Chain A
Amino acid sequence: MKNLIEIQNLKKYFPIYRGILFRRHIGDVHAIDGVDLVIPPGDTLGLVGESGCGKSTLGRCVLGLIPVTDGKIIFDGMDLTSLNKKSLRNLRRQMQIVFQDPQASLNPRMSVGRIIGEPLEIFKVAKGKELNNRIGELMELVGLEPSMMARYPHEFSGGQKQRIGIARALALNPKFIVCDEPVSALDLSIQAQIINLLQELQDRLKLTYLFIAHDLSVVRHISDAVAVMYLGRIVEYAPSEILYKNPLHPYTQLLLESVPVPDPCMKKTHKLLEGDPPSPTSPPPGCRFHTRCPKRFEPCDITEPENIKVGGSQLVCCHLYSRGVLK
């Protein structure tokens, strides 16, 4: 099966400047530093990691919303990084994004109908009555009453606002949607409604998702495959069931260990992940996780580990599993 998205050796550095008159380049934030990922059509790839690991930046790069420093993003056979503005804009019809904060991502001075209809107007897909019909359809699709079209965002609750954001993303019949923490600002009971909505829409419209979240429980529930990101790198990638049952990378293990389990009988003494992640301006040499890794040994702080395939479908980037060491 051909992949819908292929990311090859993607890098994104944000330059840091100092000085006003004599502005000089004093370093870079290595937000993404050599990421390879693929997403088959119709799948959901979950992307998890601590804050600042570069997961949102990755989502934005994949959509071509920010220019990349190096690497390739191949969407449906076309390399986004080599396209000019005009063709990139046309391609954007097929990929959309849903943001975390529904409050901040909707223009408070536009009616809901105009918010949802704006993409249709921009791409001149529909006009007049047809436009209104389409907006109504979209609202019904996400479980909103079409009669509320003329209302403004502040008249809706948090969950409904997120539904509006989803309807806007669906307006142009995209193939691919980046969901950037779409449920983390919502209440628990609403969170489940939105997760179910996203899953239903995926089945009905054959959508492909890149699901970015820090909540490991939500990611397990919705994803077919999961990539774990640490300081701009993917440290482990596997089908979701395999990753949650048998995490290989020490970081993934500790991350899963940290999730509080809603069952008092399971109360366990956590193995804690010590300290904070290092600054992405000067990532540590060798394996980026070696400063906090409980299982570090000799080569970890010198040589960078490579991706190693374990059991056919699990990729892990750790010296523990490289053949030379296992001997």
Chain B
Amino acid sequence: MVYSGMLQVKKDKPIDFTDCTDYKNRENLLTVRNLSTYFHIDEGIIKAVDGVSFYLRYGETIGIVGESGSGKSVTALSIMRLIQEPGKIVSGEVIFKGRNLLESREAEMRRIRGREISMIFQDPMTSLNPVLTIGEQIGEIYEIHERMSRNDIKEKSLGMLKKVGIPLPEERLRQYPFELSGGMRQRVMIAMSLALKPKLLIADEPTTALDVTIQAQILELIRELKREFQTAVIMITHDLGVIAETCERVIVMYGGRIMEEASADDIFKSPMHPYTKGLLACLPRADEKRQKLEPIPGSPPRLLLLNPGCPFAERCVEKLEYCHDKCPSLIEMTNKRLVACWLYDRDNPIQH
């Protein structure tokens, strides 16, 4: 293992786990290294994303799970470079197909968005334009990116609507978003996001606003289309059920940082980080009866008031005395797992 020696590094020198081969692999579709996005507001600086690193292979599905304010959506927006004032990407690299998106020109980014990386959002009503027909909105993508003729555009749009399983597609093209149900709108969003066969789809809470029955339909649709288009997916959600059903690898975020990263099987079977353990213990289940839920005490952190230590320390049941003072970095455990917690860090001040 690349890491075996690294754990003995002196503690004043932070371990850079992104030196590991997985992060240098040219075969990765996406490599995010030390990404930090801060919001500068009057009251101070909000570190919405603070030193996040992960990678994604071609065709892989990765899940980012976390509560509100954990930084999962800001991470996605940073990858797309859609962060607006007062937010700013202060450091890091987003390497997509070998080039750093954070250094690309805006014109180049416009070509990448939609064609190479596309995104679907939680609420399909607010992300569709209410005064344009479905046909105009899908057609716009082909018009801008491909400069197709009208007939081609219509044919292509129809084809996409059929692919996402919308009944009576000819009629739908002439309809406005308000005439469609929530599930249909989300299908239209998916049709738009996959119109140009992107290599990466970022789905930000794609099913949170939908009923379970419709959620199951949409998740199945995303799985099917993923197979067909060979698209890699970043699935952002707070629903651990959705993660378990769709993802191969899972990143758990809290307070703008990655707490744990592991394969979906490992996360659910043997969670390591106290936060991940807590999340699984407080989950009511439909498939089995639980006696009593064990909630995580306290509430999610206010990012303005974050102390220098681990963001979860305040609520952690296994915290050590110095957890409040120093933030643990991600270290690699067996089975390619990463965890950021002093409990597992041989480098921690006391054991030294």
Contacts and interface: CB of A to CB of B under 8 A. Distances in A.
A192 B264 contact: no
A189 B181 CA distance: 31
Contacts of A192: 282-284, 293-296
| Contact-residue size bin, chain A (C-beta under 8 Å from the other chain) | 35 or more
Interface bracket on B: 35 or more
A50 B68 CA distance: 24
Interface in B278-293: 278-280, 282-287, 289-290, 292-293
Interface in A27-64: 50-51
B283 to A, nearest CB: 6
B296 A51 contact: no
Contacts of A199: 292
B233 to A, nearest CB: 15
A235 B336 CA distance: 48
Nearest to B213: A273
Given A187-B300, A220-B284, A273 B292 contact: no
Given A258-B212, A276-B214, A264 B244 contact: yes
Interface stretch (B2-10, B234-242, B338-346): B234-242
A133 interface: no
Interface stretch (B22-30, B189-197, B215-223): B215-223
A157 B285 contact: no
B21 interface: no
B10 to A, nearest CB: 36
Contacts of A216: 212, 286
Interface of B: 67-68, 167, 181-184, 211-217, 219-220, 238-245, 264-265, 268-269, 278-280, 282-287, 289-290, 292-297, 299-300, 315
29 contacts: A51-B182, A157-B300, A158-B68, A187-B68, A187-B300, A188-B240, A189-B67, A191-B282, A193-B295, A193-B297, A215-B284, A217-B241, A217-B286, A220-B285, A220-B286, A221-B293, A222-B284, A241-B289, A256-B286, A257-B216, A261-B241, A261-B287, A262-B240, A262-B243, A262-B285, A264-B245, A267-B244, A272-B220, A276-B184
Given A50-B211, A221-B293, A264-B245, 17 more contacts: A50-B214, A158-B299, A189-B278, A189-B300, A192-B284, A192-B293, A193-B295, A244-B286, A259-B212, A259-B287, A260-B241, A262-B240, A262-B268, A263-B244, A265-B268, A266-B287, A272-B216
